[in-house]
Structure 1
Amino acid sequence: MQNFTLASFILALALSILPLRCLAAEPPVFDIVVYGGTSAAVTTAVQAKAMGKSVVIVCPEKHLGGMTSGGLGWTDSGDKDAIGGLARNFYHRIWKYYQADPAWKFQKKAQFGNKNQSPPGKSGDGATMWVFEPHVAESVFEDLIRENAIPVHRGKWLDRTPGQGVILDKGRIRAIRMTDDSLYRGRMFVDATYEGDLMAAAGVKYHVGRESNATYDETWNGNQVGILHHKHHFANPVDPYRTPGDPASGLLPLIDDSKPGTRGEADDRLQAYCFRLCMTDHDPNRMPFPKPEGYDPARYELLLRVFATGWRELFEKYDPIPNFKTDTNNHGPVSSDFLGANYDYPEASYERRAGIVREHEKYQKGLLYFMANEPRVPADVREAVSKWGLAKDEFKDNGHWPHQIYVREARRMLGRYVMTEHDCLDKKATPDSIGMGSYTVDSHNVRRYVTPEGTVQNEGDIGVPTPRPYEIALGSILPHKNQCENLLVPVCVSASHIAYGSIRMEPVFMILGQSAATVAALAIDRDSALQDVPYDLIKKRLLADGQVLELEDTKTVRATKLPGIVIDDEAAKLTGDWKRSNANRPFVESGYRHNGNSKEPMTAVFETKLPAGLFDVRFYYPPNSNRATNVAVNLRHAGGITKSRLDQQEKPTDGLYTSLGNYRFDGEAVVTVETRGADGFVVIDAVQFVPVPEP
């Protein structure tokens, strides 16, 4: 009887405790669940806490910050006046860190100078610095996490099995499940990944690849065969075949067999990925480039042929960051971008993605080892490259190699509003601004192919300056309501391929993360779908928190607002490698061109037809101290040809143009700019013909 009583007591106790244990095991419901470890994830979570919401970051990554802490230390910022809120605070924290002497371990602060930061003497909350070491960026993100007591669950991978990883009910995500079976419940969810895995698993529609130009009536989308905007192309003919001149011998490695195709047509290609390497030539902190497993020098035969043409622009994107380090980016016809190796990355399994990342690492390590060690590499190249190596004090747990591959684009949501080049290039009004972008409408190359002439060429590289900072629409981070009512997507935003090329900058991701959290918090307060939150409420809170939603355009001159006939540099007939820019303002339309201070002879011809009469001929250019003082300008008019020289260091008549004089025309009018013999940068912006009343 005693044994029975004891057993009964134990059983009763167990039964009484069981419900409590079950209850304790039930995962909490967070106000906002953020999936991903990017810079956008951090600003999303910080803003959520600022608005009094419970939040958790759930991410596969061990290291927070994405590319910002993953090697991209030379920030692609565009117009810094367009960056506010938490994003600007991040760059202020960077500035503050580098004001202390201990930050300068290998280099004196004065020696680094004032590169890419606030003017000397500026301090306080407004001071910013846009260049930094990877470990410093990561420490700033970790500071934000610690200061705001944000839980971060690392090493968590969303279960992408259909119907398993996202628990939906009546158009809302109720919970997300990881591959380790852990469950995260929430009222609102934010996909802050570069890949858009949560978005896709939730059934939200998206696009991968390049749309046709016809899809959104664009110019710079789709196949861009024959367009060579940057210096990432083969400027000189290079034979693509293993045995030069013999197609039957097969193509060299790194060249695909695709046809040139038609400009503007759609495909499923992506701009190339790479690692943004933190390198140094400072011996105490330099690790020689390692030889990767399976290294095959034959893989880089194409680069030898590039060197044989005399190409030597190896170090043009070794952008300096503090302590004798670099953020090293792709530059040239064969460089760190691994063209064509990423097409299946967005939809690939985790295992396949890891394989793609390994292949990129193997390619890029092999490229560096090849240039530094291969006897067939020209001695001047080999000696110069071998002075560099990986920074020993960066990425210590990953062989000093970045932990994040540069996913320049993957999936892009098809949301309530699709951003296109028309938004970025100020050709239409963008509704409901939640932040601004300003970087060049940009794409890296997507492939390397054989031209009809039998030479190798790259395709896909685009760089068109934006005329001013542009608004980013609320609808670009929101799915359609009938697809999901409680998911925001601040990274894989709703944008065309070419518009995404401008939006995809790290400061913008931080901006959109903060805005996403704001919308989520307001939706919680109203107990409504995200899509039902009034924009006026969103705008009011964003402005209160320092976000920049619009900027008065005082730096761009519209050709349509100028008198007479205006020929922009976009309409000029060009020879040579003119480069687009919008660094110095004001300018006409979207920017101007310069010759890069090259000694290569170039010309620019501005021509039109004029009615008989007298015209004031005006030449537009933004001045600078690095400009040429002897730019050759030839003007053809009714009386013949007048030759003149312009000093482009001098400020033009009204800050915009210099008058070449009054001339009579009767039909053809031609202004030709020549760079031969110029003693600095030659700049072309526009030519204007203004009718002059007859005396």
Structure 2
Amino acid sequence: MKKSSLLFFVLFVSFSSFLSANNTPKTYKADVIIYGGTSAAIASAIQLKRMGKSVLVVCPEKHIGGLSSSGLGFTDLGNKRVIGGISKEFYEEVYAHYQSKEAWNWQPKTDYGNIAQGTTAIDDDLKTMWTFEPHVAENIFENFVKENQIEILRDKWLDRESGVKMEKGKIISITMLDGTTYKAKIFIDATYEGDLMAAAGVKYHVGREANSVYKEQWNGVQKEEFHHSHNFGDRKISPYVIPGDPTSGILPRISTEDPGEQGSGDHRVQAYNYRLCTTNAEGNVVPFEKPENYDPAQYELLRRVFESGRYSMFGGGKIPNMKRDVNNVGPFSSDNIGMNYEYPEASYEKRKEILDEHIAYHKGLLYFWGHDESVPERFRTSIKKWGLAKDEFADNGHWPYQIYVREARRMIGEFVMTENEILGRNKVNQSIGMGSYTMDSHNVQRYITKVGYVQNEGDLGIDAEEPYQIHLGTILPKEKECKNLLVSAAVSSSHIAFGSIRMEPVFMILGQSAGTLAGLALEDNKNLHDISYGTLRKVLQKDGQVLEFSTPKD
């Protein structure tokens, strides 16, 4: 072989080897791998780094913080004094941000109202603030990540079919669809959906349990229970295309299924929506646009609501800089009732279809409010002054990154929280944090009553008299199912109990506690289930978690 040919051959082989090596999917290792980019994930990562452990956050999201940085800026709060640790640190950072005059670029601070969810939005005594703009929340999470030198690998999607390798009851590694693999001693599922938990074979529930399962009152089907205003009440609105004529067909977005027996369980999931960040500040308004394939017939039921004399449209809590965190309001609004039942267990492709449908529905609703002649002119004129905030979600058409997954899978773990613990009927003896918000379920279905009218079902709000303790077992799978996994968002609880637990401050609390437990297991070289609660409790309290609380008596 000539020297020139030999040299070319050597270079070719070397280059081929280089390409092969660089095309080989990477393997990453850490003490703990956290899957998901929610607020719970960031809280776990911060805690682990503070305990000196190596941690990687691997997440499908490109923007971290979950709902806290994706539109839910009007915090579902309850009793603010039970929010401690890293969760409280987040709201302290919000407070610190809005102390600056430069933070108020669309309105003076003095013009901002000071009430949110029944408490002071800006609490000078506790140096906390409970309302905020989405980009402010995201910046705070990103600062937490930078300060604690947390490595985050984004746009990584778990191979839910064959990406979880198990040996002797433990997860050995998880692999993403792009082929990258992550090995750790302990894993934390911080997704709203519980995708890692499910792929690891941990048992879970989707939908509502029957009241008989956990001896509850408020879990299963709840026909004619109207706790809020998100129902048709005694309005006799026909569900048929031609009012009163069942042969004419059913209007869109009304189920023809039997709603089920009172108190029975079902597969149905409470409605999702997007928590929009809207504004009427001149110069910061992106007008609501007519979506592609807009079909006004999808909103015929809303026309009939207007005809009945009810005009509930643009609800939402005030957040800084002349913005609103817009949520569902009334019997037909942004909650896309009945269209998310498949979402918790759907493939990524099917989930995208569901998300696209929700976006189209929501955008169509906004356009309908501003342009349909069934909407009184004074309301159309008012709503047209509003739009999406130009300085939010700039790389996503000013639309929130994350749909509001109010509930998906819920683990059936070492301990299942039920309404009996929330309402103080049963004692919790291994507290890892506290909650206090109302047991809040949005509507689950829209059906036809026996007398032929349309009605919503599932919207409930049951107050706890006192803040309640959350059991350690809510984040722990059963040991026989998985020994080295923690679940900080899709936690072990009944449907109605989850309605209170699912609040963002609580997710951060549970995220920190999960990180603490993982850190202790690493230090003692023990399984998660073998760490004594007494040891865990001491560290949680040292790090500012509130584990018990009694309302002061007058």
TM-score of the superposed pair, with normalisation by structure 2: 0.94
Q: Distance in 2 between matches of 1:169 and 1:28?
A: 18
Q: Which residue of 2 aligns with 1:219?
A: 217
Q: Distance in 1 between matches of 2:481 and 2:256?
A: 39
Measure how far apart 1:115 and its partner are.
Answer: 3.5
Q: Contact 1:37 / 1:60 at 8 angstroms: preserved in 2?
A: yes
Relative distance call for 1:118 and 1:456 in structure 2 (3 A) is closer
Q: 2:341 aligns with which of 340, 343, 349?
A: 343
Q: Contact 2:418 / 2:494 at 8 angstroms: preserved in 1?
A: yes
Q: Which residue of 2 aligns with 1:259?
A: 258
| Aligned 1:439-588 pairs, distance under 5 A | 439-554=437-552
Q: Distance in 2 between matches of 1:430 and 1:110?
A: 43
| Aligned 1:105-120 pairs, distance under 5 A | 105-116=105-116
Q: Which residue of 1 aligns with 2:41?
A: 41
Q: Distance in 2 between matches of 1:177 and 1:25?
A: 10
SS class of match (1:61): coil
| Aligned 1:175-574 pairs, distance under 5 A | 175-235=173-233, 236-315=235-314, 317-554=315-552
Measure how far apart 1:553 and its partner are.
Answer: 3.6
Q: Distance in 2 between matches of 1:433 and 1:120?
A: 28
Q: Which residue of 1 aligns with 2:79?
A: 79
Q: Which amino acid aligns with 1:532?
A: D
Relative distance call for 1:138 and 1:314 in structure 2 (3 A) is same
Q: Which residue of 2 aligns with 1:68?
A: 68
SS class of match (1:346): helix
Among all aligned residue pairs of Structure 1 and Structure 2, give the percentage whose two residues are the same amino acid. 55
Relative distance call for 1:309 and 1:531 in structure 2 (3 A) is same
Measure how far apart 1:113 and its partner are.
Answer: 4.0
SS class of match (2:374): coil
Q: Distance in 1 between matches of 2:74 and 2:421?
A: 26
SS class of match (2:69): coil
Q: Which amino acid aligns with 1:103?
A: A
Measure how far apart 1:27 and its partner are.
Answer: 2.9
Q: Distance in 1 between matches of 2:348 and 2:123?
A: 49
Relative distance call for 1:92 and 1:375 in structure 2 (3 A) is same
Q: Distance in 2 between matches of 1:386 and 1:249?
A: 35
Measure how far apart 1:25 and its partner are.
Answer: 8.1
Measure how far apart 1:374 and its partner are.
Answer: 1.2
Q: Distance in 1 between matches of 2:120 and 2:224?
A: 39
Which stretch of the first structure deviates more once superposed, 112-121 or 529-538?
112-121
Q: Contact 2:121 / 2:129 at 8 angstroms: preserved in 1?
A: no
Measure how far apart 1:120 and its partner are.
Answer: 7.3
Q: Which residue of 2 aligns with 1:103?
A: 103
Q: Which amino acid aligns with 1:492?
A: A
Q: Which amino acid aligns with 1:411?
A: R
Measure how far apart 1:118 and its partner are.
Answer: 5.9
Measure how far apart 1:254 and its partner are.
Answer: 1.3
Q: Contact 1:73 / 1:134 at 8 angstroms: preserved in 2?
A: yes
Q: Distance in 2 between matches of 1:174 and 1:83?
A: 34
SS class of match (1:351): helix
Measure how far apart 1:383 and its partner are.
Answer: 2.0
Measure how far apart 1:119 and its partner are.
Answer: 8.3
Q: Which amino acid aligns with 2:149?
A: A
Deviations 1:331-350 (A, max 9, x none): 10001000000000011000
Measure how far apart 1:375 and its partner are.
Answer: 2.1
Q: Which residue of 2 aligns with 1:663?
A: none
Measure how far apart 1:388 and its partner are.
Answer: 1.4
Q: Contact 1:118 / 1:128 at 8 angstroms: preserved in 2?
A: no
Relative distance call for 1:397 and 1:498 in structure 2 (3 A) is same
SS class of match (1:283): coil
Q: Contact 1:477 / 1:493 at 8 angstroms: preserved in 2?
A: yes
Q: Which amino acid aligns with 1:277?
A: L
Q: Which residue of 1 aligns with 2:167?
A: 169
Q: Distance in 2 between matches of 1:438 and 1:250?
A: 44
Q: Distance in 2 between matches of 1:120 and 1:477?
A: 31
Q: Distance in 1 between matches of 2:454 and 2:197?
A: 38
Q: Distance in 1 between matches of 2:149 and 2:121?
A: 34
Q: Which amino acid aligns with 2:414?
A: R
Measure how far apart 1:425 and its partner are.
Answer: 0.6
Higher relative helix content: 2
Q: Which residue of 2 aligns with 1:55?
A: 55
Q: Distance in 1 between matches of 2:472 and 2:148?
A: 26
Q: Distance in 1 between matches of 2:310 and 2:342?
A: 32
TM-score of the superposed pair, with normalisation by structure 1: 0.76
Q: Which amino acid aligns with 1:176?
A: I
SS class of match (2:344): coil
Measure how far apart 1:525 and its partner are.
Answer: 1.0
Higher relative strand content: 1
Q: Distance in 2 between matches of 1:425 and 1:370?
A: 41
Deviations 1:309-347 (A, max 9, x none): 1112334x3210000000011010001000000000011
SS class of match (1:279): strand
Which stretch of the first structure deviates more once superposed, 255-264 or 358-367?
255-264
Which stretch of the first structure deviates more once superposed, 543-552 or 382-391?
382-391
Q: Contact 1:223 / 1:264 at 8 angstroms: preserved in 2?
A: yes
Q: Which runs of 5+ in 1 are unaligned?
A: 556-654, 656-695
Q: Distance in 2 between matches of 1:351 and 1:111?
A: 45
Size of the aligned set, in residue pairs, is 542
Measure how far apart 1:454 and its partner are.
Answer: 1.2
Higher Cα Rg, which structure: 1
Q: Which amino acid aligns with 2:206?
A: V
SS class of match (1:528): coil
